[in-house]
Chain A
């Protein structure tokens, strides 16, 4: 009996300390009035000094959004969101806006230091090349972007999207909304109306981006939604690897994060997009946490182009996202590698859509879902082969792992093939961490927590190995931390 109480206590301790990014930065903010109407959108647009066409686009989206209904098909349950009880713009007050990294508010630099994100251009030893450039988005604005000059030498544009609107309006206008139209879905449309910042990347023809690009999203302000918009264009024959990370303070309220990411690859170009999502997941009773309702889509427009999504989803109270590939170019390739962990009361409904349009298009889906506590984890995916997609190929591998007996795993694959030469394969497995495995590990000296972490990391290995090396180690640790307390 005593042992049981001990275990419960221990689990509580571990669970309470597990989200180490739950702090709040005390910083003065410039905030839009609460609520959402056309004046909010004009406020945001004016703050960013946007051209008229963009304001019109936002308003068109907003008016369309008013006619839409929240989607209800996902296997997630949550109380109705009051869209008027939220702030749509919050920016740390800056004295005239930082011109360079030395002018960034030290409080913000400290925040990112605490999060382990390098937003300094450290003095590099002669001959050592930087391996990663970072764009840091704090609530509604980008506060710093590193190595911009270094990237410009190669012609690579990496900057906040608000800056791109000013400096590269033609590129933004040409591509914005071209993959995810403003009318796409409820949350994407809301994002189109109120998006605040996010990253913009353009890699010119034939250029291999010399370092990893990374955006770090932080929600800080209370009652504030984050609506970032990311747009990445890889011109013919280019390559870029991009990674995003996300955290938020620990709060009892739910906060909305509705982002849109659009990727475009031209002939022979390749984008590798990796996500380590660790938004605050809520407490063990399901109080608080981020609603992560995100639309991510890539268009392989050119022949032989490739888009690869890798995601490690450990945070958020609810995750609703389906990073997808539209395989238009002949011989284009789409990949989706996903680890989704849901513990305690988290709900995840995630997967992908692979739309085969061009000939010889190929797609690979590897999804690893882990459920623990009372969590519900759903893989939802669509593989669609259109009539002209001769010889299209898809392979889907969908594995679920259950920890404990109160959680759920669900797999909902949709397959639509309209071409007889297409080959579509779907494999799925469901397993539990066995008592045998745990005991075996513990007999070799590993604690129960370490044993779970090791076994789960083994289960996810196929996906984790797709992450850029610098992040693979972090992701492995995160997998372990997310499941702490899951075995009593």
Chain B
């Protein structure tokens, strides 16, 4: 359902991605591991369509669509979701308002009826129950004053509400202690299904203990250097990224 071919991308004229090939099937969970500066976050922003991330070559086909020609909101509406490494604060806008606006924008785009306040409340209650969350978070302004763990749980909640076909999780484990990590991973696992694919981007193997991937890829120097099953993550944990010409100690 996602087909990345020979993807090259630059930021401010500097080439970061230098020919990525990756194919993700429906319901598959792929992990991308790599050292700092390897282009992991760039890949997630290119997929989501952020300004300033210029694709210089290659193609991305998503669900039969030419993803790279679409606006960020069109990608979101067609089911691409990015869980941010650093979720953004929006003062004065309650989580509830934000989620309702986002969901209705997406539903409108998909040709579904927009939900009224009651219908939305029902839906959100079901989702918070599914993720073992309290309603309290819904009343607070989007990510304002949230702890690191709360921010990431909020990303998972948004994902649950928007019901994407492809979820890109950008370093969801960064800044989380082990308990918070478990809670977030449980949330992600609760949303796994045959129709939902995921691309889990992480520096550490730790997250993959909880979100077990079907495939693991190593990204370094802007290219996928090696691919394998979940055991590849364990190998990397043991050996580091040295074999890919990266000295992490530096």
Binding site for B on A (CB under 8 A): 434-437, 439-448, 450, 454-455, 457-462
Contacts and interface: CB of A to CB of B under 8 A. Distances in A.
B92 interface: yes
B106 A440 contact: no
A475 to B, nearest CB: 14
A436 B158 CA distance: 17
Contacts of B51: 435, 439
Contacts of B91: 458-459
A445 B84 contact: no
Interface string B55-92: 00000000000000001110111000110100111111
A454 B48 contact: no
A58 to B, nearest CB: 46
Interface in B11-26: none
Given A439-B50, A439-B51, A446 B90 contact: no
Interface stretch (B97-105, B178-186, B201-209): B97-105
Contact of B73 (A435, A445, A455, A459): A445
Contacts of A443: 48-49, 72-73, 75-76, 81-82, 84
B90 A442 contact: no
A460 B92 contact: yes
Contact of B92 (A439, A445, A458): A458
Nearest to B106: A445
B233 interface: no
B92 A446 contact: no
Contacts of A436: 88
A454 B101 contact: yes
Nearest to A459: B92
A450 B105 contact: yes
Given A445-B73, A445-B106, A440 B88 contact: yes
B133 interface: no
A461 B92 contact: yes
Interface string B99-135: 0011101100100000000000000000000000000
Contact of B72 (A439, A457, A462): A439
B22 to A, nearest CB: 20
Nearest to B71: A442
B141 interface: yes
B92 A442 contact: no
B162 interface: yes
Nearest to A461: B92
B102 A457 contact: no
Given A442-B76, A443-B82, A447-B73, A455 B93 contact: yes
A437 B90 contact: yes
Given A446-B105, A450-B105, A457-B92, 18 more contacts: A439-B51, A441-B90, A441-B102, A443-B76, A443-B82, A444-B105, A444-B158, A445-B76, A445-B103, A445-B106, A446-B73, A454-B90, A455-B93, A458-B92, A458-B141, A460-B92, A461-B93, A462-B92
Contacts of B103: 445
Contacts of A441: 90, 98, 102
B88 A446 contact: no
Contacts of A461: 92-93
A255 B228 CA distance: 72
A440 B77 CA distance: 14
B88 A444 contact: no
B58 to A, nearest CB: 19
Q: Which of B51, B73, B81 has the most CB of A within 10 A?
A: B73
Given A440-B87, A445-B102, A450-B105, A457 B73 contact: no
Contacts of A434: 88
Nearest to A368: B92
Contacts of B92: 457-462
17 contacts: A439-B72, A440-B90, A441-B98, A441-B102, A442-B49, A443-B82, A444-B102, A444-B105, A445-B76, A445-B103, A445-B106, A446-B101, A454-B90, A454-B101, A457-B92, A460-B92, A461-B93
A467 to B, nearest CB: 15
Nearest to B82: A443
Contact of B102 (A446, A458, A459, A462): A446
A447 B105 contact: yes
Q: Which 10 A-B pairs have the closest CB atoms?
A: A458-B92, A458-B93, A444-B102, A461-B92, A445-B106, A440-B88, A445-B76, A442-B72, A445-B105, A442-B73
Contact of A440 (B49, B71, B84): B84
Contacts of A455: 90, 93
Contact of B77 (A445, A450, A454): A445
Nearest to B103: A445
Q: Which of A434, A435, A441, A447 has the most CB of B within 10 A?
A: A441
Contacts of A444: 76, 98, 102, 105-106, 158, 162
Contacts of A458: 90-93, 141
Contacts of A439: 48, 50-51, 72, 88
Given A437-B90, A455-B93, A459-B92, A445 B109 contact: yes
A457 B73 CA distance: 20
A436 B91 CA distance: 13
Contacts of B50: 439
Interface in B40-60: 48-51
A450 B90 contact: no
A32 to B, nearest CB: 47
Nearest to A431: B91
Contacts of A459: 91-92
Given A437-B88, A440-B87, A446-B105, A454 B93 contact: yes
Contacts of A460: 92
